[in-house]
Amino acid sequence: MIVIGILYGYILWQDIRYLRQKKRKPRTFFLVIASVVILFIVMETLFFLRDRWTFGQTLEFLFGPINRMLLIGE
C-alpha cells in the first residue's frame, strides 16, 4: 500500500514537472491532478476490498441476466 502511494506520488511529480516545462494552463494542472487523485482513491479502494469484492462478481452482476436470457432462447 505504501509502494502504491509512492508510485502515484512519483507519477504526479513527473506530470507536474512536464506541465511546468511546457507552460500549460492552470486548467490542465487541475485535470491532471484530479485524475491522479481519483485513480489513487480507486486503486486504494480496490486494494482494501480485494478480499470482499472482485471484478468478476461485478461482471456477473451486470451481464448475468443477459446471459441467462440468451441461454433460455436456445
Query: Residue 27 in contact with residue 67, Cβ under 8 Å?
Result: no
- pLDDT for 51: 82
Per-residue pLDDT of the chain (74 residues; tens, 9 = 90+): 788 889 999 999 999 999 999 999 999 999 999 999 999 999 888 888 888 877 788 888 889 888 888 887 65
Question: What's the whole-model pTM score?
Answer: 0.67
Residue 32's contacts (CB-CB under 8 Å, 6 or more residues apart) are 12, 15, 16, 19
- pLDDT for 29: 94
- pLDDT for 19: 94
Sorted by where each begins, the domain ranges of the chain are: 2-72
Query: Residue 43 in contact with residue 4, Cβ under 8 Å?
Result: yes
